[in-house]
Amino acid sequence: MAMQPWFTEAKLGIFLHWGIYAVDGTLESWAFYADEVPHDQYMRQADGFTAAGYDPKAWAELFARVGARYAVLTSRHHDGVALWDTAHGDLNVVRHTPAGRDLLGPYAEALREHGLKVGFYYSHSDWNHPLYPSVRSQGRAPWVNESRWVAPQDGAPDDEQAWQRYLDYRDAQVGELVDRFHPDLLWFDGEWERSEQQWRLAPLAERILTADPRTVLNARMLSYGDYATPEQGLPMRAPDGPWELCLTINDSWGFRQSDTNFKSVGQLVRYFAETIGLGGNLLLDVGPTAAGVIPAEQVERLEGLGAWIARHADAVWGTVAGLPAGHHYGPSTRSADGRTLYLVCFGSPGELAVKGLRTAVKRAYVLGTGAELGHRVTGGHGEVPGVTWIDGPRDADVDPHATVIAVELDGDLDLYDGQGRN
């Protein structure tokens, strides 16, 4: 199935890492894998996972308000604790935590009520499943085979039958997600521990796409993925095809009291503008507490980003990737008809110089305030265009995070990227 247009038009999604790790604020799953926290202590966090303040309608209302078009919630992380009453495997929040109920259904329903697409994160790996460490990984990083949570120990042979039963469990859980909650997107993870063949991805993809051929799959479904998922860092060039940058709002995927290194609203605006300027989506991650509440510091930042988006809606919605690097010193987007450029400027921009622009400018103005800006071209000869100068905005028209200059073109965008004339 071709990529769904809703995804490439979405621009902003919210990622939620929510699980028992929020109780003590340990690293999600990795805490016991890396022996940072003893396994039994990690698992005891289940006793404090209450979901007592879980209000998915408030989540959905917030996400819609800030301009997100979809959300992705960890239905089951590498620790194997499912957030729904799965009939498969032993670990879930219904049976093992005071939350005591399915948390996915109400989430999916609330998102849909607010017109948001429903995504679930799901880890292929389950480090708590007794059958998971039954085979060594083929063709993957060698360090993967050393962990007792991942591979047979002390020279024990691979048990291929046990591995197939593990995959049956994974497939049954994914089948439940698909049949009960009808996700628009499945965000897989943990793929690095086995080869595509070992993961048995072909029948899994078929199972998902038979239930709904429109389901969007991320690249951690390997060759069945619909889009690339660079993580925690902006690519320098746009990845091929649709893509999404996943990024934590501080330094952690899940809730950690100790992590107060929040990105500023200005930084989030910059990440967002750079991402959409390269044609991608930003999947911004928050970590709800064990009670299910998104902490105020995180909400404030989402709202700050959302306010910037609302002030600059035309530069965001319905736009595509902007100018290639070198024409304008900053990210940019382009209206779908190609007739308007949106130049993002950080700090207090002075006069702008757009290079390589062959199309004449009809009008330039500050997006949001509407202030008109003068413009003129100097130089240029033959096929080499001159520089298009655009007056800098007055202080009153400068946005605290990023000012957007809308440039209406007098024709189709025509760019020059040559080496000039001899």
251 near ligand GLC, judged by CB under 6 A: no
Report how far residue 138's alpha carbon sits from residue 17's, in angstroms, rounded to the nearest whole number: 29
Q: At its nearest, how many Å lie between ligand GLC and the CB of residue 173?
A: 17
Helix ranges, 156-247 (H): 160-176, 196-199, 201-211
Q: Which amino acid is at 43?
A: M
37 near ligand GLC, judged by CB under 6 A: no
Sheet of 375-381, strands arranged across: 352-354, 384-390, 375-381
Residues in the chain: 422
Q: At its nearest, how many Å lie between ligand GLC and the CB of residue 189?
A: 5
Q: At its nearest, how many Å lie between ligand GLC and the CB of residue 320?
A: 25
**Among residues 47, 146, 231, 414, the one that binds ligand GLC under rule CB under 6 A:** 231
Structure tokens at 109: 């329903």
C-beta of 253 vs 272, nearer to ligand GLC: 253
Report how far residue 174's alpha carbon sits from residue 212's, in angstroms, rounded to the nearest whole number: 13
Q: Find tokens 């670990």 and name the residue.
A: 91
126 near ligand GLC, judged by CB under 6 A: no
C-beta of 174 vs 361, nearer to ligand GLC: 174
42 near ligand GLC, judged by CB under 6 A: no
Residues 228 and 239: beta-carbon distance below 8 Å: yes
337 near ligand GLC, judged by CB under 6 A: no
CB atoms within 10 A of CB 412: 10
**Among residues 60, 246, 284, 404, the one that binds ligand GLC under rule CB under 6 A:** 246
Q: At its nearest, how many Å lie between ligand GLC and the CB of residue 330?
A: 27
**Among residues 11, 13, 23, 28, the one that binds ligand GLC under rule CB under 6 A:** 28
H or E stretch at 326: none
C-beta of 230 vs 338, nearer to ligand GLC: 230
253 near ligand GLC, judged by CB under 6 A: yes
What's the gap between Cα 108 and its chain centre? 18
**Among residues 126, 184, 189, 399, the one that binds ligand GLC under rule CB under 6 A:** 189
C-beta of 28 vs 176, nearer to ligand GLC: 28
184 near ligand GLC, judged by CB under 6 A: no
36 near ligand GLC, judged by CB under 6 A: no
193 near ligand GLC, judged by CB under 6 A: no
Report how far residue 87's alpha carbon sits from residue 214's, in angstroms, rounded to the nearest whole number: 26
Residues 333 and 323: beta-carbon distance below 8 Å: no
Sheet of 372-373, strands arranged across: 319-321, 332-335, 340-345, 403-409, 361-366, 372-373
C-beta of 118 vs 246, nearer to ligand GLC: 246
Q: Give the SS3 label for residue 134.
A: helix
**Contact positions vs ligand GLC (CB under 6 A):** 17, 28, 189, 231, 246, 253
